């Protein structure tokens, strides 16, 4: 199982939200590069970098932070948050992202998202499936849609999508454990999917449970920043 720490960015700083609520923000470090280097020093190879300013502004904002981390580490970075245009993607890839994550764009402008799959290749495009009660939510999780999760995933696997980050918004940042049953349900329907669990991880035991459930990858952040998981504890998974 791939271990993928997350760095969420507001005003260039490393923060975490609770359940996607911008009014429930905690700043953990004003230097995201320092955080990324600590991950790398402990054997981590992947990084999930989220531009929360971009998600709100509907265009890429924190690309200089992306560029700084990509230039000064060897981490394989997937980048998301507010990517809406071909120009946003060009900037993200030029600044060092190896993959990008699109969530709201896949719901609101599917033609654009599908064009990215064809233009850049499915290996570089990750579908962000953020859910509340198994309904897709968009716009930084502030807006629920009527899109049911499994049909939404089915649509995009038929378009070539192979990688999906699924975040249960009710779990995110709450340190109450991940939605393992939901992920099992997705993997039962799409056994070949590179499904990335996201939200709720609060202990090494959670990681072990997800690995046992067959998850190919997991994203987490707050558990590290709050000291629930020490970076040295990740070594058995790396």
Distance CA 119, CA 115 (A): 6
User: Of 8, 51, 53, 168, which is the active-site residue?
Assistant: 8
Burial class (CB in 10 A: 0-12, 13-18, 19+), 152: buried
The yes-or-no answer on residue 148 being catalytic is no
Distance CA 199, CA 195 (A): 13
User: Of 78, 88, 130, 168, which is the active-site residue?
Assistant: 130
The yes-or-no answer on residue 8 being catalytic is yes
Give the residue carrying structure tokens 């948050």. Answer: 81
Distance CA 60, CA 194 (A): 25
Distance CA 128, CA 149 (A): 11
Question: Which residues carry out catalysis?
Answer: 8, 130
């Amino acid at each position: 199982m791939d271990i993928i720490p997350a760095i969420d960015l507001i005003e260039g700083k490393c923060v975490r939200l609770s359940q996607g609520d911008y009014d429930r923000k905690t700043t953990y470090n004003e230097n995201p590069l320092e955080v990324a280097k600590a991950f790398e020093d402990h054997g981590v190879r992947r990084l999930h970098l989220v531009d929360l300013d971009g998600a709100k502004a509907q265009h890429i904002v924190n690309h200089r932070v992306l560029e700084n981390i990509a230039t000064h580490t060897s981490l394989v970075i997937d980048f998301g948050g507010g990517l809406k245009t071909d120009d946003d993607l060009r900037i993200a890839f030029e600044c060092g992202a190896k993959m990008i994550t699109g969530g709201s764009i896949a719901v609101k402008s599917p033609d654009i998202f599908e064009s990215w799959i064809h233009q850049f290749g499915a290996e570089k495009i990750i579908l962000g499936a953020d859910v509340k009660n198994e309904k897709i939510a968009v716009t930084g999780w502030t807006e629920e849609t009527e899109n049911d999760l499994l049909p939404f995933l089915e649509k995009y696997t038929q378009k070539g999508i192979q990688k999906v980050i699924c975040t249960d918004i009710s779990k995110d940042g709450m340190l109450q454990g991940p939605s393992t049953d939901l992920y099992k349900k997705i993997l039962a329907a799409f056994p070949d999917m590179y499904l990335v669990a996201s939200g709720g991880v609060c202990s090494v035991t959670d990681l072990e449970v997800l690995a046992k459930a067959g998850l190919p990858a997991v994203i987490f952040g707050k558990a590290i920043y709050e000291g629930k998981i020490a970076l040295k504890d990740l070594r058995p998974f790396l």
